[in-house]
Amino acid sequence: MKNQVKLARVKVDLTQQQLADIVGITRQTVSLIEKGKYNPSLKLCLQICYAVNAKLDEIFWIEKEDFE
Amino acid sequence: MKKITDERLILRNLQNTRIAYVVQTIGILCILGYNFFQGGLEKMRENPLWLVLILTTVVYFYLSMSVSVEHERKIKNPMRSFLAGLIVLIIAVVAVGYLVSITPNFSSLNGLFLGAVLFICSFIPLYYVYRLRVKHAKELEEE
């Protein structure tokens, strides 16, 4: 699913590896999430939000018409 | 070894385990099938793998029941279903026990024994489903 993880990560100046280490996942998973190829659980979404100092709806929200 | 905390990898691990389980089951079936063609049913049942297959099937069956109960859309009255199942079971047990006891070369003790085994083997899953339904109904009430 499309998301703004990459943008938010770059904003707080984190590399994929650094974000992965903070959240406790692998770099590959971060990469897949950013590409929209892996849907993280709500728990992981929140952990990512805390790591990049953002709100859930800023990163993981998509409009209804773009949902498909 | 470090504990895997990545949810994607944990999920992948589970999927891998499922594939391994399928391969293992196919292997066991192949070996048992080979035994069956070699020496018939007796030889097949002598193989300890037969016990493993039966055990895993029973465990899988019980685990599947918890999924089936949650899948039920209409909330049934657990007690009523349990009693209905029990009545059907008792009728079946009595019928089987009677038919065995009137079969030549079988005594009434055999009929009683077979009936008891059938009753126990069917009562356990029936009661298990009843408990699952009660638990499920309670969880729904709490919401």
A67 in any annotated domain = no
- Is residue B136 predicted with pLDDT exceeding 70? yes
Please judge whether A38 and B8 are an interchain contact, meaning their C-beta atoms are less than 8 angstroms apart: yes
CATH number at residue A23: 1.10.260.40
Q: Where are the domains of chain B?
A: 1-71, 74-143
Q: In this predicted complex, what is the ipTM?
A: 0.85
Supply the DSSP string of A29-53, one letter for each residue. Answer: HHHHHHHT-S---HHHHHHHHHHTT
Give the number of domains in chain A: 1
The mean pLDDT value for B18-36 works out to: 95
- Is residue B107 predicted with pLDDT exceeding 90? no
Nearest CA in chain A to B6: A25
What are the pLDDT digits (tens) for B71-83?
877 767 888 889 9
Residue span of the structural domain in which A46 resides? 5-61
Q: In the structure encoding, which two tokens stand for residue B48, read together?
A: 């300890």
A38 in any annotated domain = yes
Q: Percentage of chain B with pLDDT > 90?
A: 58
Establish if A27 touches chain B: CB-CB under 8 angstroms: no
A12 in any annotated domain = yes
The mean pLDDT value for B18-28 works out to: 96
Whole-number pLDDT of residue A42? 95
What are the pLDDT digits (tens) for A19-41?
999 999 999 999 999 999 999 99
Between CA A27 and CA A46 the distance in angstroms is: 17
